[in-house]
Structure 1
């Protein structure tokens, strides 16, 4: 979760400084979620990947990373 928080903060900064548009940020988040959703791993690790995908999808749905209204 710490890594996800750091990445979220970096994406916010990139957007705030007009270095990366919202569409690109959402694409990065969607790609990351998909990578975790489709991960091939042992059962215990699979649960961790699913949890990571759920967190990323909540960020997308909540608009947190790009401060959408």
Structure 2
């Protein structure tokens, strides 16, 4: 993967995390909805067949999102 892809992906993740935090801080979306969004995103990548040329990428995305959920990076847990 090129450095440009890494930078683009990291920027997109940071922007999305910031948006989720802002939506929660402003009480637009409750924590349960934000967790649901992240779980849905992980699920969308979890069922990709092994024959898909990007199956390793999809698996890595699932791991990353699950780590975000476990660590509470996108949702400030009290």
Same fold, TM-score > 0.5, yes or no: yes
**TM-score, with structure 1 as normaliser:** 0.87
**TM-score, with structure 2 as normaliser:** 0.78
Structure number having the greater helix percentage = 1
Partner of 2:48, secondary structure, is: coil
Count of residues paired in the alignment: 68
Listed one character per residue, the Cα deviations across residues 11-67 of structure 1 (whole Å, up to 9, x for unaligned) are: 011001111000000000000001111124623x01001111111000100011111
> Which segments of 5 or more consecutive residues in structure 1 lack a partner in the other structure?
none
Give the number of the structure whose alpha-carbon radius of gyration is greater: 2
